[in-house]
Each structure stands twice: as C-alpha cells, then as structure tokens.
Amino acid sequence: MAYKSFKLPEDLLMGSATAATHIEGGQQQHNWYRWSEQGKIQDGSHCKVACDHINHIKSDVKLLKKINTETYRMGLEWSRIEPEEGKFSAEGIAIYRKEIKLLLKSGIRPLVTLWHFSNPLWMEDDGGWVNPKCVNRYLNYVRYVIDQLGDLVTDWVTINEPNVYLFFGYFEGRWPPGYQGNIRYYLKGANHFAKAHLKAYDQIHEQLESKGQPKEEIHVGVAHHLRIFDLFDKRHLTRFAAYISSHLFQWMYLEAMTRGRFTFPLRFYNRQFPRKNYADFIGINYYSRDLVKGVYKPGTLFNELHVKKGKAVNDLGWEIYPKGLYRIAKVVYRMYKIPIWITENGISDAKDTKRAKFIYNHLRFLNKAIKKGIEIQRYYHWSTMDNFEWQEGVTPRFGLYHNNYETQERTLRESGKFYAEICKKKKISRKMIREYLMKK
C-alpha cells in the first residue's frame, strides 16, 4: 500500500492502557487467581505474577515517560482495596496513590478504571454481578476510592466491557464463573452493570465537586467493547442474527449506560433514572470485525462468526480492519454527540511485524473521523506491555514493550519506538514511514 504522511491534532491526548489483573501480580483474593489455580487458563499460565508491576511501579512509570505518554489508562484491583466486604485496606489504596503521584510528577494524566473483569472472592462467591446486592457493593467501593484518590484524579472509567465479561462468563463459560448458555443470568448482570454505572456517575460527580474539583474538569464514562458486525450473506436469518448479535452484545449496553434508557430485553427503569446523559465521554475499545452468518441454533444466538476470506489477521485470528474504528466512531457520535475516547485499540503480534502498520492505519482513520467533525479527544493503545490476557494467558503479545516473564525485563519494540515518536510529534512524517513502515 502507499503510505501518506499526515498530522494529528495537537490537542489529541495519546497514551497506552493496562488493567490491574493483567500486570500487577501479588494478589490472590479474586476470581481470576482462583480460575488460574483451577488450571483453566488456555496456555497453562497464571495471573499470580503477571508482569509483577506491583514491584516495578517506579520503573514502569519511567517506561511510560520514555514513550512520550501524555495520558495513561490504569486499573484498580478491587480485592486489593477491599479484601473483605466493608473492610478497606489503607495499604492497598496507598499503592495506587503512590503510583498516581508518580504519574502526575512525570506529567502523565491518569485515567483510572474502577472495575475491569476482576471481582473479590467475597463478592464472587455471593453471586457476583447476578446478585442484586452487587450494585450497592460496587458503589461502596467506589465511594471509598473517590474519597481516597479524588484529590488526584478527575478522569474515571466506571466499568470496562460489561458485555465481554457477561458473554464469556455466563454464556460461553470460558471465563469465571463459568456458566454456559445462561441468558437469564446474562441479562440480570447487564441490568446490574447498567444500574451500577448510572448511580456511580452521579455519585462520583457529587464527591469530586464536594472536594472542589471543577465540574467541567470531571470526566466519567464506560469503556465499551464495540466491534463491527457485517453480514456474511443477505439471507433474512443472517440479518436477524446480525441484529441480535449487535443489540444484545453492544447497543443495549451503550443506550442504557449513556442515557439511562433500558431497551428490550433489559428492564425499563426510566422512573428511577431521569433522562439525561450519564457519560462525559464514551470509551470505545475497538479491535476487529466479524462476519455474521445466520444458523438455526438458538444456543448460539442464531449466529456463526467468520473472518472475511483473504483478510489479514492478528495472532489470535482476529481480522485487522482499521476502517471499523471510523465506522464505529461515526455511528456512536451521531447517536450521542458526546466526546469519544478510544480507550483501547491494539494488536496481538508477537513478531512485531504488523503492529506499526496497525497503528498507522488506525490513526489514519481516527484522523479522518476527526476531520469529519467527530469529536475524538484521546487515543489509548492497548497495551503498554505484554501481559496476562485473561483466558488466553500470557501467550498473546499486545505490548509496545516486550515483556520477558522470567526476568520481568521490558524491551521497547520497534513499533513502540514508532508510537513514541507519533505521541511526541503528533504526526506521521515521510521519514517515519521510511524508517518504520517500509522496512523489508
């Protein structure tokens, strides 16, 4: 392909993202530690050490600075902060306070994720997100965190990808708690996640404003996993399957957690939640697209997912489809007119032969979206370093930094150098194209 140079907006904040369970290690009282102990991780690895970030915080912040990070999306491990219900750990929250202070000292703006797939065992063993008590349990945890960190942080992701967690945990059974085909639990969990976010949105604003944070500087939103579902063929069954997939997997979450409108098959809660926007930004985690083919199997939501023949894929077999970032952002912005943050976008590429091109093409379509009037304010590459990727373990390599899990040595990949230069210069020049994209 012919590469063209282009400039990005100077005010586009750029950085990378991680999650607590992905990188920290050293914590046992949560669902993923037990899932690992039960031998259910695909490659036989374990989250107990991961990247040992908990013992490398200072050096890892230096790595962020090295790649010209302006904003860093980090996560909190709930079980580290609240190891027993109602009993909060001063030592646990102090770790995050220290990390955030280091980020701020380095000129890096933190975006903090409050929940990212990890539940304390005391919650997991009492029904997790299916038990109605989960909403107040989550709000109590959020209240404590904001009280302890709200003087340092104004940017918050309340919940990350509830659709992915519920689909893999309650429908496919590949994630904890391991239910299969339980659509009733799936919908219960979806309702609870939506209610938890809507209430947390108001609660966080009230807490931060009471601390003197200016309202216009407070940003609270959800990181939604959104992907393209295109038709495999034009049959009516395929159209129906694509609608079911896109609605049950993404659009009902987006509507409920942005506007408080609970559409079918979620329960209707309009009396409880006034009509307004419950998001200061819409986080989009974008990776790929699927071709949906309709099949007569209700247990699969009437669909089979395919990759378009002949298209490039990452190490996990996901299609590399950069235009999808533009298509998703266009639809979401047209629906809500709320600023968009690309909270995750990345590629599993162990040999680092595709990542630079992936970054180039996705930023090209991001730039196109901005020029079309779509308000995209931030871009977070997934991920800062290779890490524990849930069910797949440590085999997938998403990092700008290669991680040696035996020595915990981080090495900046060539694509990481490319991204660092983009973050610094806010452009992709002809020289950068020759250096990073046209190597044989």
> 65: burial class by Cβ within 10 Å (0-12, 13-18, 19+)?
middle
pLDDT of residue 249: 85
> 79: burial class by Cβ within 10 Å (0-12, 13-18, 19+)?
buried
pLDDT tens digit sequence for 319-334: 999 999 999 999 999 9
Low-confidence ranges of the chain (pLDDT < 70): 264-271, 298-299, 440
pLDDT tens digit sequence for 268-306: 455 678 889 999 999 999 999 999 999 987 667 788 999
pLDDT of residue 265: 67
Give the count of beta carbons closer than 10 Å to the beta carbon of residue 406. Answer: 6
Structural domains in the chain, CATH included, are 6-437 (3.20.20.80)
Structure tokens at 434: 């020759």
pLDDT of residue 296: 83
pLDDT of residue 264: 66
pLDDT of residue 302: 80
C-alpha pair distances (Å), 211 with each of 89, 152, 315 = 22, 11, 46
Structure tokens at 288: 């790929």
